[in-house]
Amino acid sequence: MNDNWAIHVRRRWAGTILLVIAALLIVTCQALTSSWQQKRASMVRSWSQRGDADLAAAKPGDAVADYRNGLAYAHDDQTLLLRLAEALVAAAQPDEAESYLRSLHESSPGSGKINLLLAQLSARRSDVVDAVRYYRAAVLGDWPDPIPQRLSVRMELISYLIRNHRDAEARAELFAVTAEMPRSPEQRVEIADLFRSLGDYNSAIGIYRQVLARDRGNAALRYKLGDALLQNSEFRDAERELAQAASSATASQNANAQQELSVARSAVRLDPLARGLSVSEESARLSTVLQLVAKRIDSCTPAVPPDVADRSNLQAAMENASASALGSDPQNLVRAVAFAAKIEQRFQGCKGASPEDRAIALLSRESE
């Protein structure tokens, strides 16, 4: 009886000890696992921070190595994989970067950043269709701070479309931007600059004036407004704005403003299509314009061979420049100005263009 009881007690104690040991082992394993997880997280964070620092310091090769070391502790870390792809792009390793990005795109097709990087890679290899597709996906994609980041991407897309001569699409994107015009004056000026590069001077002029209303002393911006007005054949307004720009500009800005001001003043003086002129005044101005064109043809030949019909057309225009000819057929004036502007535009590559020559090349916008 006593022996059986002793055996029973020993078994109970043995079971208890085993349970305690098992519990200790579990606790120890959990502690080790937690410690390793903390260590791994610390290593990932450390390598990631080093990679960020190297990338910011324009050391993309070092950043690639840093991010790879971080991924050794977290193979599927999506954030780290994206940073590695960014570093590979910066390190001029586009093929490997694209491989990572396409894999990331499969799992996160709505990521703005991933789509932007794919757009930039497509643009580098001149794949316009893919670049535009990814840019547009990036505009609509997810961003930490969506409003400014989507605007930035859209502006990059617009510049890309302009460089690739897709002006209609660029203009449509610009109008989409102006529907929710940013408050920043710098961004507004950038938008106006893009309109000006597309030849949409009316839109550019409107935005420049809005910004200038709050920053009247900005000579550089006033110069841009004056130039847009000049290109838009608003010669008197251009003269006024460029004169103000020249009077308040820095030395380097002043030279450009003075040159454009000379062109604007020449246009105001020469323009036969200006409102309020009598027929005799139109005739006198047109005769002066045609004489300047004749000199330009002579000075630029044979550097820029004229069209065989240039001289005969010039002679016909001169014959129709009299007050009586203009009075009998007002279209003679329009045709002659268009002809003169066409000649000056064709000879723009010829050296020695005077402010008058440049002004005549701009007259055609009123005659189109």
In terms of Cα–Cα distance, which of 310, 316, 266 is closest to 289? 266
Q: In which band, very low, low, confident or very high, does the pLDDT at 367 lie, cut at 50, 70 and 90?
A: very low
225 and 262 part of one domain: yes
pLDDT of residue 41: 66
Q: How far apart are CA 175 and CA 164, in angstroms?
A: 19
320 and 339 part of one domain: yes
285 and 363 part of one domain: yes
256 within a domain of the structure (yes/no): yes
46 within a domain of the structure (yes/no): no
The CATH number given to whatever domain includes residue 235 is 1.25.40.10
283 and 349 part of one domain: yes
266 and 342 part of one domain: no
CB 36 within 8 A of CB 28: no
292 and 245 part of one domain: no
233 and 303 part of one domain: no
284 and 351 part of one domain: yes
The angle at the Cα of 8, spanning 5 to 11, to the nearest 5 degrees, equals 150
Interval 17-50: pLDDT, tens: 777 676 666 766 665 555 546 666 677 677 777 8
Half-sphere CA count of 118, side-chain side, radius 13 A: 28
CB 133 within 8 A of CB 139: no
111 within a domain of the structure (yes/no): no
In terms of Cα–Cα distance, which of 336, 335, 337, 361 is closest to 348? 361
333 and 301 part of one domain: yes
Interval 90-118: pLDDT, tens: 888 999 999 989 999 999 999 999 999 99
304 within a domain of the structure (yes/no): yes
Element spanning 224, H or E: helix 219-231
248 and 316 part of one domain: no
Distances (CA, A) of 365 to 93, 271, 287, 345: 48, 11, 19, 12
328 within a domain of the structure (yes/no): yes
Domain that holds residue 301: 279-367
259 within a domain of the structure (yes/no): yes
285 and 337 part of one domain: yes
212 within a domain of the structure (yes/no): yes
Contacts of 63 (CB under 8 A, 6+ apart): 51, 52, 54, 55, 83, 87, 90, 91
Range with the poorest average pLDDT among 86-95, 96-105, 346-355, 359-368: 359-368
Interval 329-342: pLDDT, tens: 888 888 889 989 98
Domain boundary among 270, 287, 306: 270
**Tally of domains within the chain:** 2
pLDDT of residue 308: 67
Interval 153-204: pLDDT, tens: 999 999 999 999 999 999 999 999 999 889 899 999 999 999 999 999 999 9
333 within a domain of the structure (yes/no): yes
- What percentage of the chain carries pLDDT values higher than 70? 85
Domain boundary among 270, 298, 323: 270
Domain boundary among 241, 270, 299: 270
Q: In which band, very low, low, confident or very high, does the pLDDT at 224 lie, cut at 50, 70 and 90?
A: very high
Interval 110-158: pLDDT, tens: 999 999 999 999 999 999 999 999 999 999 999 999 999 999 999 999 9
306 and 226 part of one domain: no
